Structure 1
Amino acid sequence: MSAHPVPGKSKSKTKATIALPYWVAEFALIRTAVLVAVACVTISLTALLVSGWKLGEADERLEQAQRTRDVAYARFAHVDNEKRDIRNFQPRYIELRDRGLIGAERRLEWVDIIRQSQERRKLLPLSYEIEPQQVVRLESALDLGDYQLHGSRMRLHMDLLHEMDLFNFLDDLRLRSFFAVQDCAIKRLGRAAGAVGGPTLGADCTLNWITLDTAPKAEPAPATRRRAP
């Protein structure tokens, strides 16, 4: 009597004997190396990203430092230029200030200058009137910085022995003050007025005393009228 194979048992035995691919069967041998490689790649990518981020921050800090340096250098250069300008212009500034151009007007000093010139040169009697100070409006723009140009008009009358009396008088004023001659008219006097020792000429001039001042003018100075003996 022949034996018949049992269905079910032969089929399961066939499945059990199927061979797996070699790389699956041997994966256990390289599993540790693969995990290490994956970890290394992950760490490398993370380090790369962090390095790029840090590099970007470093570039931003470098640019900011360069901008700060440029600003500091510009300020240093500006201060250095100002110091050089001060050294170059300070003597001239002091000279102009001492002569009365810069600062508040020195009306009393003007009166004293006129008196001293008249006494020293033995001039004939003269009279003058100084009007209130006014802001000077220039036709063309002039950069004066924080300063403002002011002028005080003086109307002057002089009796002269000769023309040089007027010129010497104006030279004395110019040495210790700043002014501009707006107009000046000299006329010859009659014979009676031109007696021996008396005046032969008469001069009527308009002068503008000039000052540069930063202080605001609350009220104009009152007119000054004087007649020198």
Structure 2
Amino acid sequence: MILFREFSLLRNALLVFLATLAVSLAAVFASSWHLKRAHFEEAAALLERDGARLRLAHAETEKEEIRRYQPQFVELRRRGMVGPERRLDWVEAIRQIQEQRRLLPLTYEIEVQQPYRLETALPTGDYALLGSRMALHMDLLHELDLLNFLADLRVAGTFAVQDCVIRRAGGATPVAGVPAPTLNADCTLNWLTLTPVAAPAGPMRGAL
């Protein structure tokens, strides 16, 4: 009887110990889980804060670039460089210059519009800088014919002269009523356009 009573007391103590141990382990597990969750939420909050700071800095940078480049952008828009390509205006300008300057016959070919890369980076924001390469051949009486033509052509748009080669005319067959050329010029121009939509134009040929 004494042994049974002592065993009962020991069993009760053991049960209390096991219950206490289980509660303690549950408390430790719950604390660890809450701590990990708190660390996760803290990390997420830090990432969100850093993202907000980056977005704010980006917005401030864009605002500064807009303020800095707005006058130039307005000038480019006035000159017709911003927006859809004005290829027909270029063709009409070439025709008018040829007639007004009484230039000798010329030919040209405007290729498909392609992305244009500058040697130095140019911030264009949401606009893409596109270029349309034009191969130009001119018969000249003298060098001024080419220089005057290019100067007049800049009124019609913005272009960069990639290269230009002038040679002496080599025994061209005379045409009645047309002065014989003394020089030939072969130039490559790149018509430049800033556009928010990539809509390349197709090739175009012409002769005047």
User: What band does the TM-score fall into relative to the shorter chain?
Assistant: 0.5 to 0.7
CA distance in 2: counterparts of 1:193 and 1:162, whole angstroms: 18
What is the match of residue 215 of structure 1?
197
Q: Is the 8 A contact 2:89 2:156 kept in 1?
A: no
What is the match of residue 199 of structure 1?
181
Cα offset, 1:208, TM superposition: 0.5
Q: Is the 8 A contact 1:129 1:156 kept in 2?
A: yes
> CA-to-partner distance for each residue in 1:6-26, whole Å, 9 max, x for gaps?
xxxxxxxxxxxxxxxxxxxxx
Do the aligned partners of residues 89 and 188 (structure 1) sit closer, same or farther apart at CA in structure 2, a change above 3 Å counting? same
Gaps of 5+ in 2: 1-55
What is the match of residue 163 of structure 2?
183
What is the match of residue 102 of structure 1?
82
Structure-to-structure mapping, 1:96-135, within 5 angstroms:
96-135=76-115
What is the match of residue 147 of structure 2?
167
SS at match of 2:155: helix
CA distance in 1: counterparts of 2:108 and 2:166, whole angstroms: 16
Gaps of 5+ in 1: 1-73
What is the match of residue 128 of structure 2?
148
Q: Is the 8 A contact 1:158 1:202 kept in 2?
A: yes
Q: Is the 8 A contact 2:114 2:132 kept in 1?
A: yes
Number of residue pairs aligned between Structure 1 and Structure 2: 151
Identity %: 58
Do the aligned partners of residues 108 and 192 (structure 1) sit closer, same or farther apart at CA in structure 2, a change above 3 Å counting? closer
Cα offset, 1:99, TM superposition: 1.3
Counterpart amino acid of 1:201? L
Cα offset, 1:211, TM superposition: 0.8
Q: Is the 8 A contact 1:124 1:160 kept in 2?
A: yes
Do the aligned partners of residues 141 and 89 (structure 1) sit closer, same or farther apart at CA in structure 2, a change above 3 Å counting? closer
Q: Is the 8 A contact 1:157 1:205 kept in 2?
A: yes
CA distance in 1: counterparts of 2:152 and 2:164, whole angstroms: 17
Cα offset, 1:215, TM superposition: 1.3
Q: Is the 8 A contact 1:193 1:200 kept in 2?
A: no
Cα offset, 1:139, TM superposition: 5.2
Q: Is the 8 A contact 1:126 1:156 kept in 2?
A: yes
> CA-to-partner distance for each residue in 1:76-116, whole Å, 9 max, x for gaps?
xx6xx959x65x75554332112122111100000011111
SS at match of 1:175: coil
SS at match of 2:81: coil
SS at match of 2:181: coil
CA distance in 2: counterparts of 1:97 and 1:185, whole angstroms: 31
CA distance in 2: counterparts of 1:167 and 1:123, whole angstroms: 12
Cα offset, 1:176, TM superposition: 2.7
Q: TM-score, normalised by structure 2?
A: 0.62
CA distance in 2: counterparts of 1:143 and 1:192, whole angstroms: 48
Q: Is the 8 A contact 2:115 2:130 kept in 1?
A: yes
Do the aligned partners of residues 82 and 140 (structure 1) sit closer, same or farther apart at CA in structure 2, a change above 3 Å counting? closer
Q: Is the 8 A contact 1:160 1:203 kept in 2?
A: yes
Structure-to-structure mapping, 1:33-44, within 5 angstroms:
none
Counterpart amino acid of 2:179? G
**Structure 1 moving runs of 4+ over 2 Å:** 88-95, 137-143, 190-197
